[in-house]
Amino acid sequence: MTLTVDSAAVSRVQGFPPLLAVNLTVNGQPHALQIEPWVTLLDLLRQKLDLTGTKKGCDHGQCGACTVLIDGRRINACLTLAVMHEGRSITTVEGLADGVQLHPLQQAFIDCDALQCGYCTPGQLCSALGLIHEGQARTPDDVRELMSGNLCRCGAYPQILEAVTTVMFGPPPRGAAA
Amino acid sequence: MRPFDYTAVASVDDALREAGESPECRFIAGGTNLLDLMKEDVMRPVKLVDISRLPLDRIEPTPGGGLLLGALARNADTAYHPLVQQRYPLLAQALLAGASPQLRNMASNGGNLLQRTRCFYFYDVAVPCNKREPGSGCPARGGLNRIHAVLGASEHCIATHPSDFCVALAALDARVHVRGSGGARTIAFADFHRLPGDRPELDNTLAPGELITGIELPEEGFAAHAVYLKLRDRQSYAFALVSVAAALDVDDDGRLRDIRVALGGVAHKPWRKRAAEQGCVGQRASTGVFAELADALMAEAIGQGDNDFKIPLARRAIVRALEKAAGLPADKRAAPESFS
């Protein structure tokens, strides 16, 4: 459940401190923000910065739709407070393309038909980018295991796996199962 | 979530001072469990003390030949650390069997120890729960209890501890380093978590305001013979129904010098039975010896109905994990006799 809180009223009634200052770089853009401590990074991105590419699926760390990168590492934006990330650099799906040039992962998702409704796709893309940075996946089976934090209720998993492994290891041999 | 006050601290002393000894104040590091519980209104701290930037994130050898895991080292960084991979593969396997890569990138080692149960009734604030509201009752008894405890439960609580990491730490005889207003102390892992008894609201033996600063692993990591076996409803990104951390050491003659079995998913804390382990020492590693150990471990198990399946499942998982740790082929003939 999401509660909408009038922070000024809270400050008056309960004596809470004023808004907290936090400086974040989001997709290369610096932002100096004043926020309540209970604002998650996900809500900050979507509601204060209008970066609605990052999706709120479960809001409980169970689906991965909110996956973004903090200093290059993938995390669930729904389960972290924005105020805890002073000085850090956030990358969302909006920051993946280079101008009009899609990121290779984005192009691979299109080429492999790795989405149906598309709601999980921003999280899948950021998660795949984080996975590549981590350097722990050496086989398609590793990729499947290390992408398990991102659910796709349309069931595009074979195509998602194909897209990610194509970017990492090159296209599968002709006729091979994904 | 409910409004709360927030302070970030730069030293352990500041953290202890800011937190005081109020149960309404909580430390936050990775926050992956705490924030979820705050959104669900299960936990209602009035103040969070952000310890995430304290210099407690190192993983380094100890003078005694062991390894100290900083309380703020991330679960992912711990699992992939070369010394953990080489010397404590049981721990790496357990960590990587838990949660998802995103969560492991945030979750701290100290926070992993402090995870709350995933009992449905604990999470549902519309129903009673002795762990959440002491004295209100336990609807899991006689309710939906497929995921609940079969060992060490009490009439007040049948919740299980959800961690995989802790099961491996229990098998390895880790020690938990903590600091509080009264100074520093270390807690043997077996004494860190507690059984529910008549105080199920207490998950562990930390005093109010105490902070975990590190987890110390002893020198022996059982690197040659260690297996973490986790059984769950889906193959990845799910909590254990039953898990087994199995570790052993054998002499040149194939006789057991040491053997450790810790169970997850079956009790309010990682479950071990040292006397039963000791009874195996000196015997030759075999499926028969492992089956006797499994029977001893599960002898006092009591099912709650939906979770009755965990008792035979745990017996088989113990034998299989030990067979794998010992490098023995799975002996399917031994199973039906012992595990009717």
| CB nearest to A38's CB, from B1, B50, B99 | B1
Q: Do B52 and A84 touch (CB under 8 A)?
A: yes
Distance from CA of A3 to the nearest CA of B (A): 6
Cα distance between residue B27 and residue A17, in whole Å: 18
Q: What is the mean pLDDT of residues B285-299?
A: 98
Q: Up-side HSE of residue A87: CA atoms within 13 Å toward CB?
A: 1
Q: Does domain A7-92 have CATH number 3.10.20.30?
A: yes
| CB nearest to B106's CB, from A14, A40, A79 | A79
Residues of chain A with Cβ-Cβ distance to B106 below 8 Å are: 75-76, 79-80
- Structural domain boundaries in chain A: 7-92, 104-169
Predicted local distance difference test score (pLDDT) of residue A125? 99
| CB nearest to A16's CB, from B1, B5, B40 | B5
CATH class, range A104-169: mainly alpha
Cα distance between residue B269 and residue B193, in whole Å: 6
Question: What's the pLDDT band for B338 if we cut at 50, 70, 90?
Answer: very low
Q: Is the pLDDT of residue B334 over 80?
A: no
Walk me through the domains of chain B, giving residue ranges and CATH numbers: 5-52 (3.30.43.10), 226-338 (3.30.390.50)
A86 to A72, B14, B54: CA distances (angstroms): 15, 19, 14
Nearest CA among B291, B300, B281, B301 for reference residue B335: B291
Task: Please state the ipTM of this predicted complex.
Answer: 0.95
Q: Is A84 on the interface with B (CB under 8 A)?
A: yes
Q: Tens of pLDDT along B69-102? A: 999 999 999 999 999 999 999 999 999 999 999 9
Q: What is the DSSP string of B187-202?
A: EEHHHHB---TT-TT-
Q: Is the pLDDT of residue B335 over 80?
A: no
Q: Do B28 and A84 touch (CB under 8 A)?
A: yes
| CB nearest to A148's CB, from B28, B41, B237 | B237
Predicted local distance difference test score (pLDDT) of residue B336? 44
**What is the full per-residue pLDDT of chain A (178 aa) written as tens digits?**
555 555 555 555 555 557 999 999 999 999 999 999 999 999 999 999 999 999 999 999 999 999 999 999 999 999 999 999 999 999 999 999 999 999 999 999 999 999 999 999 999 999 999 999 999 999 999 999 999 999 999 999 999 999 999 999 998 777 665 4
pTM as predicted: 0.95
Answer whether A7-92 and A104-169 agree in fold.
no
Q: Do A80 and B106 touch (CB under 8 A)?
A: yes
Nearest CA among B7, B1, B81, B13 for reference residue B42: B1
Nearest CA among A142, A139, A162, A140 for reference residue A152: A162
Predicted local distance difference test score (pLDDT) of residue A17? 59
Tell me the average pLDDT of chain B. 96
Residues of chain A with Cβ-Cβ distance to B32 below 8 Å are: 61, 76, 79-80
Residues of chain B with Cβ-Cβ distance to A59 below 8 Å are: 39
Q: Percentage of residues in chain B with pLDDT exceeding 90?
A: 95
Q: Is B13 on the interface with A (CB under 8 A)?
A: no
Q: What is the mean pLDDT of residues B268-274?
A: 98
Predicted local distance difference test score (pLDDT) of residue B330? 86
Q: Is B1 on the interface with A (CB under 8 A)?
A: yes
Q: What is the mean pLDDT of residues B301-309?
A: 98
Question: What's the pLDDT band for B337 if we cut at 50, 70, 90?
Answer: very low
Q: Is the pLDDT of residue B223 over 70?
A: yes
